[in-house]
Amino acid sequence: MKKLRFHHLKPTPGSTKQKLRKGRGEAGKRGKTAGRGTKGTGARKTVPAYFEGGQIPLYRRIPKLRGIKNGPKMSYVVVNVSDLEEKKVEGEVTPDSLRALGLTRKKGLVKVLGDGDITNKIDLKIHAISEVAKSKIESAGGTVEIIQE
């Protein structure tokens, strides 16, 4: 029995077709204009697929995406020193305790600003604080600690 070699292989009958020979005389099916019709740009040269017949093309209709897009902005929920004095807050104060008192929203970083005065001694553990607020709390006998979250 003969071994099967690569050069013995050939396609199954009917599975391959001959290449279309366009524009080879008027007698053939695809002669003369070779399936391009008569006159016009399409008959004379190839038209790119993105050509839209002279109207403003899609790649020019869509605006350009310019510039650098910065990431999400860090925003703080603001609490003033006067708010802490008004609620008569004492002892250790954290963002969770401020939320429980209704001074801040449920989510977000909390920053204490120095509007107003404070006489209560508080130990503040907060995300951010202004220099004025820090000096007012420390002058009232409290401490300030910045926490990361």
Residues 6+ apart with CB under 8 A from 83: 103, 116
* Residues 9-51: tens digit of each pLDDT: 999 999 999 888 888 988 878 888 998 888 988 888 888 888 8
Residue 123 and residue 129 in contact, taking contact as beta carbons nearer than 8 Å? no
Residue 146 bridge partners (DSSP): 126
Q: Report how far apart, in Å, the C-alpha atoms of 43 and of each of 4, 21, 23, 115, 149 are.
A: 49, 17, 12, 79, 68
Count CB atoms within 10 A of the CB of residue 81: 25
pTM of the model: 0.52
Where do the domains of the chain lie, and which CATH numbers do they carry?
76-146 (3.100.10.10)
**What is residue 88's predicted lDDT score, i.e. its pLDDT?**
84
Say if residue 66's pLDDT is above 90. Answer: no
